């Protein structure tokens, strides 16, 4: 990604400060690096200083485990919970995959990747990385195997009119899933989410959008203006798919005065079941069920929102 403009890097990383976690004194806790759900806990990666926050899903009480400060800086590219008490994150600008103990913070394994990645995600008992692609038709989600990384799911990179458009158009994220499926989506593009199943097959689901149907014309100073950004986060639970909006209105997320992430929509069986309005901008859905949403807000707070 050498030579990439600051605008593109901002779109790719989506870095915002982390929340002041429940049951801790209000304070800045650094940068939000990603979240994952594992059993009865929500794992929140904090980058500055490096730590993992284990949040009890029922009480929202938190236990903080510091992570080693030596080595390359951890990346805000997500977190993959393995289901065995460990998790993996990326570091060194997507070049290194590191595995830690969630209870002790011990560094268990460090692996240099064959090529830089834009994200990491849990694939049930395995780890997946999201590749950086500058050509169309190449697999974006790769699963870790003892022999290396191999393509997983039919999600392929898309065509872009130039390298900048190719990079922005292939920014992919994956949210929290169930035992059967994992939601993934392109940050820039139409409002839909791909549910990736355990066998690698995929189902595309249309989701609501608060962004315009068409983007403005891109400019040389703002190549990201040629896209719309409908989805900021996705959380799949047995009762359906929860979608956190991203762009709301004509201004893209990086425009001054932009309004974003003020609504969470619930989609089930192809229909919008409800839309929850938020009183301020949200960063991520930490947990979701039929009665409650746990939201990480962009003002660095965590709140539970009742769902009726």
Burial class (CB in 10 A: 0-12, 13-18, 19+), 159: exposed
- Among all chains, which residue has been given the structure tokens 């400019």? 219
Of 133, 54, 127, nearest to 97 by C-alpha is 127
43 or 30, which is more confident: 43
How far apart are the C-alpha atoms of 195 and 205, rounded to whole Å?
Answer: 7
Q: Which of 234-238, 256-260, 261-265 has the lowest mean pLDDT?
A: 256-260
Distance CA(169)–CA(176), nearest Å, equals 22
Q: How far apart are CA 169 and CA 226, in angstroms?
A: 10
pLDDT above 50: residue 245? yes
Residue 226 banded pLDDT, cuts 50, 70, 90: confident
What domains appear along the chain, each with residue ranges and CATH number?
6-306 (2.120.10.30)
Q: How confident is the model at residue 30 (pLDDT cuts 50, 70, 90)?
A: low
State the pLDDT at residue 253.
Answer: 87
Confidence bin at 220 (pLDDT 50/70/90): low
Where residue 291 falls among pLDDT bands split at 50, 70, 90? very high
pLDDT of residue 2: 38
Q: Distance between CA atoms of 272 and 245, rounded to whole angstroms?
A: 13
CA torsion through residues 117, 120, 121, 124, sign = positive
CA–CA dist 124, 143 (Å, integer) = 11
Q: Count of H helices and E strands in the chain? A: 2, 25
Bond before 261 cis per omega within 30 degrees = no
Judge whether residue 286 has pLDDT over 50: yes
CB 245 within 8 A of CB 206: no
Work out the angle at residue 74's Cα, subtended by the Cα atoms of residues 71 and 79, and round it to the nearest 5 degrees: 135
Distances (CA, A) of 47 to 10, 19, 193, 211: 17, 12, 28, 30
Identify the top-confidence range among 1-10, 14-23, 25-34, 36-45: 36-45
Structure confidence at residue 218 as a pLDDT band (50, 70, 90): low
pLDDT tens digits, one per residue of 161-208? 889 989 999 999 999 999 999 999 999 999 999 999 999 999 999 999
Is the separation of the CB atoms in 145 and 129 below 8 Å? no
More confident residue, 72 or 139: 139
Q: How many residues does the chain have?
A: 308
What pLDDT does residue 213 have?
A: 81
Number of Cβ atoms within 10 Å of the Cβ of 57: 16
pLDDT above 70: residue 234:
yes
Q: What is the rounded distance in angstroms from the CA atom of residue 274 to the CA atom of residue 262?
A: 14
Averaged pLDDT, 231-247: 97
- Quick one: the chain helix, strand, coil %, rounded to 5? 5, 45, 45
pLDDT band at residue 301 using 50, 70 and 90 as cut-offs: confident
Instruction: Please indicate whether residue 224 or residue 243 has the higher confidence score (pLDDT).
Output: 243
Cβ(129)–Cβ(149) below 8 Å: yes
Measured distance CA(7)–CA(181) in Å, rounded: 32
Please determine, for residue 21, whether its predicted confidence score (pLDDT) is greater than 60: no
Residue pair 270/205 in contact by the 8 Å Cβ criterion = yes
pLDDT beyond 90 at 48: no
Q: CA-CA distance, 223 to 58, in Å (whole number)?
A: 43
Region 49-68: what's the mean pLDDT? 92
Q: 90-124 burial, b for 16+ CB within 10 Å, e for fewer?
A: bbbbbebbbbbbbeeeeeeeeeebeebbbbbbbbb
Ranking 13-27, 69-83, 123-137, 217-231 by mean pLDDT, the lowest is 13-27
């Amino acid at each position: 990604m050498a030579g990439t403009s600051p605008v593109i890097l901002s779109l790719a990383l989506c870095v915002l400060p982390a929340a002041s976690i429940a049951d801790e004194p209000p304070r800045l806790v650094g940068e939000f690096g990603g979240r994952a759900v594992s059993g009865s806990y929500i794992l929140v990666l904090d980058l500055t200083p490096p730590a993992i926050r284990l949040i009890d899903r029922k009480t929202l009480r938190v236990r903080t485990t510091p992570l080693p400060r030596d080595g390359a800086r951890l990346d805000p590219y997500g977190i993959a919970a393995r289901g065995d008490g460990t998790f993996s994150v990326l570091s060194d600008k997507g070049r290194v995959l590191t595995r830690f103990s969630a209870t002790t913070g011990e560094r268990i394994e460090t692996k240099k990747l064959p090529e830089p990645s834009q994200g990491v995600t849990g694939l049930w008992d395995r780890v997946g990385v999201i590749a950086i692609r500058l050509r169309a038709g190449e697999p974006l989600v790769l699963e870790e195997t003892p022999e290396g990384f191999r393509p997983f799911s039919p999600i392929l990179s898309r065509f872009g009119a130039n390298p900048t458009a190719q990079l922005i158009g292939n920014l992919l994220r994956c949210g929290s899933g169930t035992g059967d499926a994992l939601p993934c989506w392109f940050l820039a593009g139409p409002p839909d989410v791909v549910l990736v199943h355990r066998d690698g097959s995929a189902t595309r689901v249309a989701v609501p959008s608060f962004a315009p149907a068409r983007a403005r014309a891109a400019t040389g100073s703002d190549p990201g203006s040629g896209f719309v950004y409908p989805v900021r986060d996705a959380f799949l639970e047995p009762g359906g798919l929860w979608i956190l909006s991203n762009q709301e209105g004509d201004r893209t997320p990086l425009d001054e005065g932009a309004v974003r992430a003020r609504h969470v929509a619930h989609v089930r069986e192809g229909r919008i079941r409800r839309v929850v309005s938020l009183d301020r901008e949200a960063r991520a859905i930490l947990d979701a069920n039929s009665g409650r949403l746990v939201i990480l807000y962009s003002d660095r707070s965590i709140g539970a929102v009742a769902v009726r």
